């Protein structure tokens, strides 16, 4: 690699990894050039125009009286140059350690060349309004070929070094006081005393780069604000079975229940299904029944920087990634996950992008915490990714149409190729992604296991504690439910967090026999949510149970046909308006009906302003199956039966509510 020697000659230096000594020497050259330019600018302010091309030594000799004043100026210039070099060297050596030493030095010394050749007079600086960015653009336009012989990485180093040099030069020139007609010794004394102030000023000068065009001064402030906002937003657990306005404020981090995973799909589940325990809630029996192959999900994730988390509907995938985000944001992860505490979590809900482009890094914050997105420093997310400080949580591969999942995989591959040190957790239903789906990207696939007896005991206890916080009269509901869970068919239902929550809600609302299979469970849960709870509390019923079901079935079917799991509030209102003319018994306007379904049904929700979805995708699938049967859409079901996004809907459409226990998941 060729570079200029101090005398301007070209010399050859052996290639090798970048060394700090070479870069520090080059940085000192840059610092010295900047300091000299600043001092010359200051001295020229009292010289005639024809002398403004003089060197610093010539100007000093003409203006300064005696060697002591000249030595003071030399010391000042040297100190400023050292301060600049101390700011430049760590940045350049840290980001470009992979650049061979000869190329790195050549790249930085090329900056010295252009700074020595470019016009840095007061007039020139005023012409660019003393703006570092404008100055750098002018230099590039004036000397476009100075870095042409460098490799791409060395050229990147050169560009960064030039940006930093211009920024520091402007700071130095601005800091030096305007010349006043007083004794030069006094001015030099004042300049020397201000060197400490200049050192602090240079330390605060933004470090610009390709990923930090405006510097990094506000990065830490925004990081603190972002993490606090994200944690507050996600640290909430919805209690399925209670309408939205009866939801208690339940912290996810308090209610979170650790589950187990296996590396293969279904083996542990099958083993658990064969366990026979006479007293299911006996502590010793619970421990004996747990599958020894399962490991805590936190340990599995902590041991692997890239994890594909698979699980059945309602198995707790979304709850887990929400918990990861909250705990990481508060630096509260422990044990195997303790090393993730210094990472910044970014949540990507794939359902939000089902019919649009997948997000670029600059859009991560606007989706996670939209209220503070406008104050994010430019390039902040990219800087977290480049530095290897990011944690990406991608939720819901199954909520993207099957035809677009290849695009999701390509998006992940490109992102990790660009930012390889990013930790990633991706969630998907087992039918949507097999264990090898992301193997080429070096993801470790794990499968969430059903809750074991101990998990279910904890879940039931926490659910009833939360229900009590909402004002519900729980009485002996928990004891009654635990007694019924001794029955094998309910035991299997309760192994799913979603179905266990439904059983808790049904048991609390009705003292009658609990359902024997999941179709009956869905039917009774919907009846409870849509009608019985309000009727029992004397709350005015705006719509009958039949009318509510008709409207919800229609919304569910439209979403299923479109391969979506959410829609805009405006579209939902429009669909309701189109359906009402066929319902002669309903005389209410669409808007009050929409508001009532959203506020009182317990089935619809508004996860973010203006977007509507079902409280759980299982309700959407059940209602879509019901609509398909009621409206004779069987041919449509058959034509979509090969798609995993339709699998649950097709299965439920084939199962009557009285389906036998063998049809359980």
What CATH number is attached to the domain comprising 428? 3.40.50.300
Q: What is the reported pLDDT for 511?
A: 60
Same-domain pairing of 193 and 234 = no
Same-domain pairing of 13 and 161 = yes
Q: Which residue has the higher pLDDT, 576 or 22?
A: 576
Most confident of 50-54, 168-172, 235-239, 351-355: 351-355
Contact predicate 280/455, CB 8 Å: no
Q: What is the reported pLDDT for 660?
A: 32
Q: How many CB atoms lie within 10 A of CB 430?
A: 19
Q: Are strands 423-429 and 306-311 parallel, antiparallel or unpaired?
A: parallel
Residue 485 placed within a domain: no
Same-domain pairing of 191 and 263 = no
Residue 37 placed within a domain: yes
* Rounded Cα–Cα distance for residues 541 and 119 (Å): 80
Residue spans of alpha helices (H) in 282-355: 283-289, 297-302, 317-329
Sequence-distant (≥ 6) Cβ neighbours of residue 204 within 8 angstroms: 217
* Rounded Cα–Cα distance for residues 579 and 599 (Å): 20
Q: DSSP for 343-366, please give it.
A: SEEEEEEGGGGTTSPPPPGGGHHH
Q: What is the reported pLDDT for 619?
A: 86
The H-or-E segment that residue 579 falls in is helix 569-579
For residue 531, what is the DSSP state? I
Q: What is the reported pLDDT for 124?
A: 66
pLDDT tens, position by position, 13-39:
333 444 555 666 776 777 667 666 666
pLDDT tens, position by position, 515-541:
878 788 888 878 777 765 555 445 556
Same-domain pairing of 304 and 406 = yes
Q: What is the reported pLDDT for 265?
A: 41
Residue 545 placed within a domain: yes
Q: How many CB atoms lie within 10 A of CB 183?
A: 10
**Which residues make beta-bridge pairs with 345?**
391
Residue 214 placed within a domain: no
Same-domain pairing of 188 and 285 = no
Nearest to 176 by CA among 36, 32, 33: 36
Same-domain pairing of 420 and 334 = yes
Domain boundary among 412, 437, 454: 454
Residue 114 placed within a domain: yes
Q: Number of structural domains, the chain?
A: 3
Q: What is the mean pLDDT of the chain?
A: 76
Residue 509 placed within a domain: no
Contact predicate 111/161, CB 8 Å: yes
For the four alpha carbons of 99, 102, 107 and 111, in that order, the dihedral sign comes to positive
Q: What φ, ψ does residue 618 adopt, rounded to 5°?
A: -60, -40
Calculate what percentage of the chain has a pLDDT beyond 70. 68
Least confident window among 50-64, 447-461, 565-579: 50-64
Q: Is the confidence at residue 565, as pLDDT, over 80?
A: yes
539 by Cβ neighbours in 10 Å (0-12 / 13-18 / 19+) ranks as exposed
Q: Edge to edge, what strands does the sheet with 604-608 contain? A: 566-568, 611-614, 604-608
Residue 259 placed within a domain: yes
pLDDT tens, position by position, 175-234:
554 434 344 445 445 554 555 555 555 555 555 556 666 666 678 889 889 999 999 999
**Which residues make beta-bridge pairs with 604?**
614
What integer is the mean pLDDT of 404-418?
A: 94
Q: What φ, ψ does residue 457 adopt, rounded to 5°?
A: -60, -50
* Rounded Cα–Cα distance for residues 158 and 147 (Å): 7
What integer is the mean pLDDT of 441-445?
A: 94
Number of residues that this document lists for the chain: 665
Calculate what percentage of the chain has a pLDDT beyond 90. 23
Q: How many CB atoms lie within 10 A of CB 648?
A: 22
Beta strands in 57-194 (DSSP E): none
Instruction: Tell me the pLDDT band of 605, cut-offs 50, 70 and 90.
Output: confident
Same-domain pairing of 300 and 408 = yes
Query: Coil, strand or helix: which one is 529?
Result: helix
Residue 232 placed within a domain: yes
Domain boundary among 432, 454, 476: 454
Q: What is the reported pLDDT for 103?
A: 84
C-alpha R_g of the chain: 34
pLDDT tens, position by position, 278-323:
344 444 344 444 444 578 999 999 989 999 999 987 888 999 999 9
Nearest to 458 by CA among 512, 497, 401, 488: 497
* Rounded Cα–Cα distance for residues 402 and 222 (Å): 37
Contact predicate 569/610, CB 8 Å: yes
89 by Cβ neighbours in 10 Å (0-12 / 13-18 / 19+) ranks as buried
Same-domain pairing of 530 and 643 = yes
Whole-structure pTM value:
0.59
The H-or-E segment that residue 444 falls in is strand 444-448
Same-domain pairing of 419 and 533 = no
Instruction: Tell me the pLDDT band of 6, cut-offs 50, 70 and 90.
Output: very low
* Rounded Cα–Cα distance for residues 474 and 472 (Å): 6
For the four alpha carbons of 291, 297, 298 and 299, in that order, the dihedral sign comes to positive
Which residue range is the domain that position 302 belongs to?
223-454
CA distances from residue 101 to 14, 106, 389 in whole angstroms, order as listed:
8, 8, 27
19 by Cβ neighbours in 10 Å (0-12 / 13-18 / 19+) ranks as middle
Q: What is the reported pLDDT for 360?
A: 93
Instruction: Tell me the pLDDT band of 324, cut-offs 50, 70 and 90.
Output: very high
Contact predicate 584/628, CB 8 Å: no
């Amino acid at each position: 690699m060729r570079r200029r020697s101090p005398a301007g000659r070209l010399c050859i230096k052996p290639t090798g990894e970048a060394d700090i000594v070479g870069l520090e020497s080059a940085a000192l050259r840059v610092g010295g050039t900047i300091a000299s330019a600043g001092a010359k600018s200051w001295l020229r302010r009292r010289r005639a125009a024809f002398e403004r091309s003089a060197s610093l030594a010539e100007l000093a000799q003409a203006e300064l009286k005696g060697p002591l004043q000249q030595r003071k100026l030399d010391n000042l210039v040297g100190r400023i140059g050292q301060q600049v070099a101390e700011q430049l060297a760590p940045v350049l050596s840290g980001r470009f350690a992979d650049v061979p030493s000869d190329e790195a030095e050549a790249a930085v010394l090329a900056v010295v060349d252009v700074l020595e050749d470019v016009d840095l007079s007061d007039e020139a600086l005023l012409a660019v309004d003393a703006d570092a960015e404008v100055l750098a653009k002018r230099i590039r336009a004036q000397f476009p070929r100075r870095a042409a012989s460098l490799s791409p990485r060395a050229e990147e180093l050169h560009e960064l070094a030039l940006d930093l040099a211009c920024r520091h030069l402007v700071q130095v020139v601005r800091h030096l006081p305007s010349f006043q007609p007083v004794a030069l010794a006094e001015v030099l004394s004042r300049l020397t005393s201000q060197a400490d102030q200049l050192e602090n000023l240079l330390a605060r000068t933004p470090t610009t780069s390709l990923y930090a065009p405006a510097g990094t001064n506000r990065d830490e402030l925004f990081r603190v604000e972002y993490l606090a906002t994200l944690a507050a937003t996600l640290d909430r657990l919805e209690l399925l079975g209670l309408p939205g306005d009866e939801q208690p404020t339940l912290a996810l981090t308090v209610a979170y229940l650790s589950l187990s995973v296996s590396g293969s799909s279904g083996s542990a589940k099958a083993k658990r299904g064969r366990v026979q325990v006479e007293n299911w809630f006996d502590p010793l029996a619970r421990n004996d029944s747990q599958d020894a192959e399962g490991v805590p999900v936190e340990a599995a994730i902590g041991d692997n920087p890239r994890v594909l988390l698979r699980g059945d509907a309602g198995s707790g995938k979304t709850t887990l990634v929400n918990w990861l985000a909250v705990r990481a944001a508060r630096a509260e992860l422990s044990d195997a996950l303790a090393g993730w505490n210094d990472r910044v979590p970014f949540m990507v809900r794939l359902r939000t992008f089902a019919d649009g482009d997948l997000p670029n890094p600059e859009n991560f914050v606007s989706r996670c915490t939209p209220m503070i997105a406008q104050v994010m420093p430019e390039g902040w997310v990219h800087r977290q990714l480049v530095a290897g400080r990011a944690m990406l949580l991608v939720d819901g591969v199954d909520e993207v149409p099957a035809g677009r999942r290849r695009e999701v995989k390509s998006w992940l591959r490109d992102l990790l190729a660009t930012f390889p040190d990013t930790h990633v957790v991706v969630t998907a239903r087992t039918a949507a992604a097999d264990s090898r789906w992301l193997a080429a990207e070096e993801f470790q696939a794990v499968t969430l296991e059903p809750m074991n007896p101990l998990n279910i005991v904890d879940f039931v206890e926490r659910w009833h504690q939360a229900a009590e916080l909402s004002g519900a009269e729980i009485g002996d509901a928990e004891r009654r439910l635990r007694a019924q869970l001794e029955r094998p068919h309910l035991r299997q239902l309760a192994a799913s967090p979603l179905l266990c929550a439904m059983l808790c809600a049904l048991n609390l609302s009705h003292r009658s026999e609990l359902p024997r299979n999941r179709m009956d469970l869905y039917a009774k849960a919907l009846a409870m949510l849509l009608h019985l709870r309000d009727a029992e509390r004397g709350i005015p019923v705006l719509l009958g149970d039949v009318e509510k079901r008709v409207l919800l079935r229609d919304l569910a079917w439209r979403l299923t046909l479109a391969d979506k799991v959410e829609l805009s509030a405006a579209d939902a209102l429009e669909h309701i308006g189109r359906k009402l003319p066929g319902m002669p018994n309903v005389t209410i306007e669409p808007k009050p009906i929409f508001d009532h379904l959203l506020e009182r049904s317990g089935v619809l929700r508004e996860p973010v302003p203006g977007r509507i979805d079902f409280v759980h995708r299982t309700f959407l699938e059940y209602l879509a199956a019901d609509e398909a049967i009621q409206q004779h859409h069987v041919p449509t079901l058959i034509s979509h039966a090969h798609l995993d996004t339709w699998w649950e809907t097709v299965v439920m459409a084939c199962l009557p509510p009285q389906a036998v226990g063998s049809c359980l998941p």
